[in-house]
Every structure is written in C-alpha cells, then in structure tokens.
Structure 1
Amino acid sequence: MVIPTIQLSVITIVLAALLVICIVSIAILYIKYRAVQRRNLQIEQQLLLSQMNPHFVFNSLTAIQSYIFRNEAHQASKYLASFAKLIRLILENSRIELNTLEREVTTLKHYLELQALRFEGRFEHKIEVDEQIDIDNVQIPPMLAQPFIENAIEHGFIHISEKGMLNIRFIAENKNCLVIEVEDNGIGIEKSRQLQLEKGKGHRSLATEITQERIRKIKCSKGINIEMSIIDIGTIDITRHGTLVKFKIPV
C-alpha cells in the first residue's frame, strides 16, 4: 500500500511537532529541576551560615583566648576542644537530612556551652530528654531548633532585667510523634516587633524563614510533615514573658 505524499508530509509534521514538544518539555523540567537544586543549595548555605555565624565563631575564639591570657590552660583546652567538636558536627550535619537524637543533643550541648562562655552570667540553660525516647534510633532533622536558640540568646535576653532562662525539651507525645520545645523568658515576639518598628526596621525573622523552607524541603524529599508553631507567652499568660517554639515531628 502506497501512502500519499500529502499524508506522509502530515505525519512528518506531526512527528516533528511531537519531538519539539518533548524537547521543550524536557528542557522546562530540567530548568525547574536546576532551580530547585539552586534553592536547596541556598537553603543549606543559609542554614550553615546561621549555625556558623561569624560573630559566634569570632567571639567564641576571643573568649577562649582570654583563658589563655589568664594562664587558665585547663579551661582554654576544654572550650577549644568543645569548639572544634562543634564545628566538625555542624559541617557533618550540613550534609545530611536526618540525625540521631543522641547526636543532636550532643551538638546542642557543645553549642550552648560555648554560648554560655560568650555571654557569661547572662543566661542559664537546660536540656531535657523524655526517658521514653530511644535517642540512639530516633532520627530528626539536624539543628532544627538552633536558629531559635540563637535568637533567644543573642536578642531575646538583651532587654530583660532578670537572668535569661532557656529550656529545650524533647518530649515523646506518643510512639509516633516527637515534640521539641524551645522556651525562653526573653522579651517575646510582640515586644521585639515593637522595638524593631521604633528603630525604623521591618520585623523579619530569618530564623523562621530558613526553618519554614527547610520544613518544606524535608516534606518534599522525605515525606515527613513537620508542624511548627511560635507562641508569644505573654499573649497566653500576662504575668509572664518570652517565646515558645514547638516542633511536632513524626518518627
């Protein structure tokens, strides 16, 4: 059977059009994929910078140096070892999406130890882990709460007269859900917003933005739906002030 020339031409045009559509579709998908990759890299870089804040690094080393100048070799050695361990953990954690709770608590202990050294006498901290939690097997995103811990220490406690109190709790809500709470007695969200407006600055929380982006990324890549809430304690109890950040993580 001979196919007329006109039919051949139509078939050729249709096939060529389909080929062009396929090529364009693949190109669009690739561009979108690269855009997602760039955004993920940007989030990772922002997270790493938030954890390895240049001020934190410089001030930690300065505090360690002060022990050296005072010939307190034991204390200097202790904090230098803690600093080195923290930097190593942060760099290792930046390459993974999930971390054991045991490792997470260790990282936070080193971080808080150095922050307490920097801000000597300004605040006290406590880490509580529910005894029901198997810390060696439960896995969570690394340093999810760290940006809010840093906010409390470096900003929340500045404008209060009493000593800062920082409580970090890991709670087993049930066998399938872990709750992380970061509670401080700082000035609170509303007061912080008012102070920023008085200084002529818009209120923008980089910690919240980075964390929300991470949560979205984790949901897309791992299918883990993490819930985050930020509460101004003064709005639920007028006799108190501070901020409570809560994460609910399926485990």
Structure 2
Amino acid sequence: METILHLIFWVLCFWILYSALAFESLEVLVENGIERSIYTRNPAAVPTLAIVLAARALLFYGLSFGVLSRFPEHRQWRPLLAQLALLVAASYLVEWGLLRALNKPPAVPPGIDILLYLFFTLAAFAYRLAKDWWRNERLRARLAEEKLTAELNYLKAQLNPHFLFNTLNNLYALAEREGNEPLSEGIAGLAELMRYAVYDSRADYVPLAKELHFLQRMVEMQSLRFDDEDELAVSFQVSGRYEQLKIAPLLLVPFVENAFKHGVRYGRQSFIRLEARVENRKLYFTASNTVYEDQARPHEDGGGIGLENARRRLKLLYPEQHQLEIKQQEDTFLVNLQLELDGR
C-alpha cells in the first residue's frame, strides 16, 4: 500500500510540473463569435521533467530514509544541516549532469527550482515524522495488547497469593524446626521475591532502592544452587545516591536471569559481575558473565522474559532516555545500560 501511495505522489508531481512548465503556445479560435483558447504543450519536455523529478527523488529519499532516520538517536543539528547540504548538491549535480549528457536545456526556471528544493525537503521531513509517529503508535498498541493478554493469562493461571504465602510460611517454620538453615533462608528469600513480583511490581514505577534490593536477593537465591566445587564468582556492586529515584519494576531482571542462565555451568570456573552505579540521576548498569567455547551466541534466544522483552520495554517506557549495548566477546558476554531516571 505504501509503495502505491509513493507512485501516486510522484505521478501527481509530474503531472503538475508538466501542466505548469511544458506550456508551448496558446491559440485563440473564434467560431460563430465565440472565442476558444487552445493550449498546446511540448512533449519533448517529458524526459527533461523526468530528470528533474529523479534528482528530487534522490533528495527526498536520501533525507527521509537516510539522514532523518538517524536524527532522533543523536539530535545533532550541525551534522543534519551538513548532510542536507550534501544531498542538495548531489541532487543538483545529478540533474545538471543528466541534462548535459542529453544536451537538454534547463527545464525549470531558477526561482521555481529553489521552490522545488524547498518543497521536497519539507515533504521529506513531514513524511519521516508521519512514518515515525505511525510506527510508534503501532508499537504502543501492540505492547498494550500484549500487556492486556499477559494480565488476562496471569489472572487465569493465578493461584490465591495468600495461599502461596501461607504455604511458604509453613515450609519456613518446618525448616526452622528441623534446623535446616539454608533451606529456611531460601524459603524466606523466595517469599520476599514473590511478594515484590506479585504486589510491588503492579505499580508503574517503584523506588530504585527496592528494585536493587530485589536484584540482590535474586542473586542470593540463584547462588544457592552452587557450592565451592562449582568455582562460581559472583559480585554485585551498588554505588551512588539513588534514594529519590524510581524505575519501572523488574526492568533489570532479564539481564540478571540471562547471566545465570547462560554464564554458569556446574563444575566449571565461572563468573558473574553486576554493577549498578548512579550519577546525576542516571543509572549505569552492567552485567557480564562467562562465555564458554562451545556456546554459539546462546544469549539471544529471546525465550520467555528475555533480552528482547527488555529492549521493547525500554523503547516503550524510556524512549530517547536510554542506551543499551549487548555484545558477546571471546570469553565474556556484556550488557551495558545507561538509563535516565527521575522521581516520577
């Protein structure tokens, strides 16, 4: 459909230019006292005007699909204006070179030529804005639909949370009575994680301190699976002032889950390093873990609540407020996230 609209646009532009600029002569005929005007146009102007439009198409698509597509990420006007000037120059050189090669005179007066450059430049800006707006609206609608579906599925599958917490409390009391301290600590940690995931995460934003505490408890729970023989080194460092800041709940969880899922093997030397640093209301979060020689980029499986889910949540909740870098090196998988936060 979009391709058809593009064709209609260019055909309409050509028809307007041909009607306005290919005028050759005007004849006035008088029949029975009635004057009749006959306009004649020069068919030889067709290839010349086609060259003019081809050059303007270079400007239009170079702007809308090239220069302007990268502008929202950087928001720098000087490079934008420099690239715009280069595109205008390239468009002019294409038009001039083709007309010269075909030995054709300029088809458009200089004043109208400038107006055409201005028109197609503004048209490229308008088209890019409309395209980005439509894409963002579709993304918002799809994510809203997926959120509703997830909530419905959650309600369908949800057991009574009070029953679950009561059961965990009973198991905790039993473990305490039997003197099994690691088990009782694990049950208490699981109850704390579930309480945060079930109740606290219903809010749109939660205190960053709560989210970081949840991650710390999550790391402790994940570490219960391993002992000294597994040679696992886990570190989680938090620094900076973040008492007044808030963040979308469970936003960082996929990165921690990914590290434990793919970065640890029983009986193998492994490491997981997590760091959360806050400076000037900006969160710098880093997660790195071991990559084994027989792994073929396993981290991008995107299954369940994975890295792709985190990317999409960041695009929706923090547009133009985050930078996410995910890369796999020879022996390390690395996630770097910069996130602008506020008190909301």
Q: TM-score, normalised by structure 2?
A: 0.46
Which amino acid in structure 2 is aligned with residue 192 of structure 1?
Q
**Match in the other structure for 2:276:** 170
Higher normalized contact order (CA 8 Å, seq sep 6+, divided by chain length): 1
**Match in the other structure for 1:192:** 295
Q: Determine if contact 1:44/1:94 at 8 Å carries over to the other structure.
A: no
SS of equivalent to 1:157 = coil
Residues 50-103 of structure 1 show CA distances to partners (whole Å, capped at 9, x for unaligned) of xxxxxxxxxxx9xx89x9499433333222111101110111343123222211
1:204 aligns with 2:301: yes
Q: Determine if contact 2:263/2:272 at 8 Å carries over to the other structure.
A: no
1:39 aligns with 2:146: yes
> Share of identical aligned residues, percent?
20
* Rounded Cα–Cα distance in structure 2 between residues aligned with 1:178 and 1:35: 28
**Match in the other structure for 1:128:** 237
Residues 123-177 of structure 1 show CA distances to partners (whole Å, capped at 9, x for unaligned) of 23221112xx223212222232322222221222238831x211111123x4142
* Rounded Cα–Cα distance in structure 1 between residues aligned with 2:152 and 2:257: 17
* Rounded Cα–Cα distance in structure 1 between residues aligned with 2:309 and 2:203: 16
Give the alignment partner of residue 181 of structure 2, picking from 67, 70, 74: 74
Q: Determine if contact 1:159/1:186 at 8 Å carries over to the other structure.
A: no
Q: TM-score, normalised by structure 1?
A: 0.60
* Rounded Cα–Cα distance in structure 2 between residues aligned with 1:80 and 1:128: 24
1:226 aligns with 2:322: yes
Residues 184-234 of structure 1 show CA distances to partners (whole Å, capped at 9, x for unaligned) of 12338xx533679xxxxxx63331211111112213xxx562221112232
In structure 2, the CA distance between the partners of 1:218 and 1:171, relative to structure 1 (3 Å rule), is same
Task: Could you tell me which runs of 5 or more consecutive residues in structure 1 were left unpaired when the two chains were aligned.
Answer: 1-30, 48-60, 197-202, 235-240
In structure 2, the CA distance between the partners of 1:170 and 1:34, relative to structure 1 (3 Å rule), is closer
Which amino acid in structure 2 is aligned with residue 74 of structure 1?
E
Give the alignment partner of residue 284 of structure 2, picking from 175, 179, 190: 179
The alignment's C-alpha RMSD in Å is 3.7
Larger radius of gyration: 2
**Match in the other structure for 2:216:** 109
- Deviation, 1:104, is 1.3
* Rounded Cα–Cα distance in structure 2 between residues aligned with 1:179 and 1:45: 34
Q: Determine if contact 1:227/1:249 at 8 Å carries over to the other structure.
A: yes
SS of equivalent to 1:192 = coil
In structure 2, the CA distance between the partners of 1:44 and 1:103, relative to structure 1 (3 Å rule), is farther
Q: Determine if contact 1:160/1:187 at 8 Å carries over to the other structure.
A: no
**Match in the other structure for 1:17:** none
SS of equivalent to 1:94 = helix
Residues 18-61 of structure 1 show CA distances to partners (whole Å, capped at 9, x for unaligned) of xxxxxxxxxxxxx99875521233577999xxxxxxxxxxxxx9
* Rounded Cα–Cα distance in structure 2 between residues aligned with 1:89 and 1:177: 24
**Match in the other structure for 1:242:** 332
